[in-house]
Amino acid sequence: MLVNLDASDARPLYLQIMDEVRRALVVGTLKPEDPVPSVRELAAELVVNPRTVLQAYRELEHEGVLYVRRGQGTFVAPDVQPSSGEQRALALGVARRALLEARRNGLGAEELVTMIRELAAHEGEPASPTPVATGGTNA
């Protein structure tokens, strides 16, 4: 699992770490029952306070994404469903940032969604067979 933090991102570091773990699950570089780096390793690698890593792991544990095997470390939960839960959480984050950026530019949600669809069609992406972030999102 490769974790990247962005110093220019104003989001708290533990949230960034949580999203990176989710991303690794969604793209498949991290699978159920895989070990994640120890708090010490990840803190040293990212040069962050170990308490920040611990906070991210605890939140993910609370959400059922990770679990601790006593004396062995922290692992991805066996029943984690990246294609539903994690993907949705990631999509929500991306959508929230996009919406904020749209509003900053004086655009509404509908204009943004329409433009994303057009752009995706133009770039040849097939329509999603299982829409994940739709339903009741009319602005």
Partner 1 sequence: MSPIISERAGAGAGADCAVSTHGLTKRYDRDVALDSVDLRVPDCAVYILLGANGAGKSTALKLLMNLEPASGGTARVFGLDAAQHGPEVRAQTGYVPERHDAGYTWMTCGQLLRHASVYYPAWDHAYAARLSDALELKLERKLGRLSKGDTRRVQLTLALAHRPPLLLLDEPTDGLDPVVRKRVLALLAEHLADRPTTVLITTHHVHEVESLADHIGVLRAGRLVAQMARDELQRTVQRYRIELPDGWEAPRDLVVAASRSSRATREVQWTVVGDEREVTDRLTTAGARVRDVSSLPLEEAALALLPVETSR
**Contact residues for partner 1, defined by CB under 8 A:** 5, 7-13, 39-40, 43-52, 100, 103-104
Q: Minimum CB separation from partner 1 for residue 19, in Å?
A: 16
**How many Cα atoms sit within 13 Å of 76 on the Cβ side?**
22
Which C-beta is closer to partner 1: that of 2 or that of 7?
7
Round to whole Å and give the CA distance between 34 and 36: 6
Q: Minimum CB separation from partner 1 for residue 111, in Å?
A: 17
Round to whole Å and give the CA distance between 102 and 112: 7
What is the token pair recorded at 73?
Answer: 């470390």
Report which secondary-structure segment, H or E, holds 67. Answer: strand 66-69
Q: Minimum CB separation from partner 1 for residue 38, in Å?
A: 8
Which C-beta is closer to partner 1: that of 46 or that of 113?
46
Which C-beta is closer to partner 1: that of 44 or that of 133?
44
> Hey, what amino acid is at 14?
Y
